[in-house]
Homo-oligomer: A and B are copies of this chain.
Amino acid sequence: MRYLPLTPDDRFAMLAVVGAPDIGALFTDVPDAARLSAPVDLPMHMGEIEVERALAGLAAKNRSGAQGPFFCGAGAYRHHVPSSVDHLIQRSEFLTSYTPYQPEIAQGTLQALFEFQSQVAALTGMEVANASMYDGSTAAAEAVMMAHRVTRRPKAVLSGGLHPQYADSIATLAHVAGVGVARQAAAVDGEAEVVAAIDAETACVVVQTPNVFGTASDLTRIAEAAHAAGALMIVVVTEAVSLGLLKSPGEMGADIVAAEGQSIGNALNFGGPYVGLFATRERFIRQAPGRLCGETVDADGKRGFVLTLSTREQHIRRDKATSNICTNSGLCALAFTIHMTLLGETGLRRLAAVNHAQARKLAAALAAIEGVEVLTPRFFNEIAVRLPQPAAWVVERLAGAGVIAGVPFSRLSPEAHLDDVLLLAATELTTDADIAALAKELSGVLA
Contacts and interface: CB of A to CB of B under 8 A. Distances in A.
Contact of A49 (B2, B48, B80): B80
A48 B80 contact: yes
A63 to B, nearest CB: 15
User: What size tier do the contact residues of chain A reach?
Assistant: 10 to 19
A49 B87 CA distance: 16
Contacts of A175: none
A48 B91 contact: no
Nearest to A83: B48
Most chain-B Cβ atoms within 10 A of its Cβ — which of A56, A83, A91, A428? Answer: A91
Contacts of A48: 80, 82-83
Contact of A87 (B2, B80, B82, B90): B90
Contacts of A92: 91
A2 B343 CA distance: 10
Interface string A46-61: 0011000000100000
Contacts of A87: 90
Interface string A62-94: 000010000000000000101100010011100
For this chain, the copies found in one complex come to: 2
Interface string A297-317: 000000000000000000000
Contacts of A91: 91-92
B428 A49 contact: yes
Nearest to A347: B2
Contacts of A429: 49
Nearest to A2: B342
A214 B323 CA distance: 67
A90 B83 CA distance: 13
Contacts of A428: 49
A2 B91 CA distance: 22
Contacts of A2: 342
Interface string A418-429: 000000000011
A49 B427 CA distance: 12
A381 to B, nearest CB: 16
A91 to B, nearest CB: 7
A335 B90 CA distance: 18
Contacts of A80: 48-49
A83 B56 CA distance: 14
Contacts of A82: 48
Interface string A90-130: 11100000000000000000000000000000000000000
Nearest to A93: B91
Nearest to A342: B2
A97 to B, nearest CB: 15
A328 to B, nearest CB: 25
A90 B84 CA distance: 12
A130 B290 CA distance: 55
A54 to B, nearest CB: 13
Interface string A4-31: 0000000000000000000000000000
Given A48-B82, A49-B428, A49-B429, 8 more contacts: A2-B342, A48-B80, A48-B83, A49-B80, A56-B66, A87-B90, A91-B91, A91-B92
11 contacts: A2-B342, A48-B80, A48-B82, A48-B83, A49-B80, A49-B428, A49-B429, A56-B66, A87-B90, A91-B91, A91-B92
